[in-house]
Amino acid sequence: MRSSIPLLASGPGQDRYRIGRPLGRRHGEFWRRATCRDGCADYENGWQTVVPAGGPLERMVRELRGYEFRETRLDGGLIEFTFPAGQRCFKAVQHGDHIVQIERDPLLRRNGKQMDLEPWMESWNESVEAVVTAR
């Protein structure tokens, strides 16, 4: 899947411009694997998990190895487990390490053709000028 923004409404004879960047793990030129130490909010701040008391989720939390937590009984038969900062988050445990965006130029396209920044900007400026002049 791609995330892109159309920049100029297309009409007869108009070029279509888009700025985008691929989404997802398979696009290594835009994303890299990261650990929770690389900016995960749960790692930095800690987190809370609320589960029904006596259920399988409570057992699962209690059986976790290598985690510190505090528990608080809540109304309605619930338990809140509070995990302090500095621990690998549940998302990383379930899905592997996080991915973070690599700083790089986005994909620039004109009429579906990928272009480098300078020619894309020149073409974009000319198209915008033509639209403004035509009005």
Binning pLDDT at 50, 70 and 90, where does residue 4 land? low
Phi and psi at residue 55, to the nearest 5°: -95, 180
pLDDT-derived band of residue 5, with 50, 70 and 90 as boundaries? low
Q: What is the three-class DSSP state of 113?
A: strand
Residues 44-60 have a mean pLDDT of: 93
Q: Say how far apart CA 135 and CA 126 lie, in whole Å.
A: 15
Residue 40 has pLDDT above 50, yes or no: yes
Higher-pLDDT residue of 61 and 33 is 61
pTM for this structure? 0.53
pLDDT of residue 22: 64
Please say whether the beta carbons of 104 and 28 come within 8 A: no
Higher local confidence (pLDDT), 26 or 88: 88
More confident residue, 54 or 131: 54
pLDDT-based confidence at 41, cuts 50/70/90?
Answer: confident
pLDDT tens-digit map of 54-112 = 999 999 999 988 899 999 999 999 999 999 999 988 877 665 667 777 766 677 888 87
Burial class (CB in 10 A: 0-12, 13-18, 19+), 71: middle
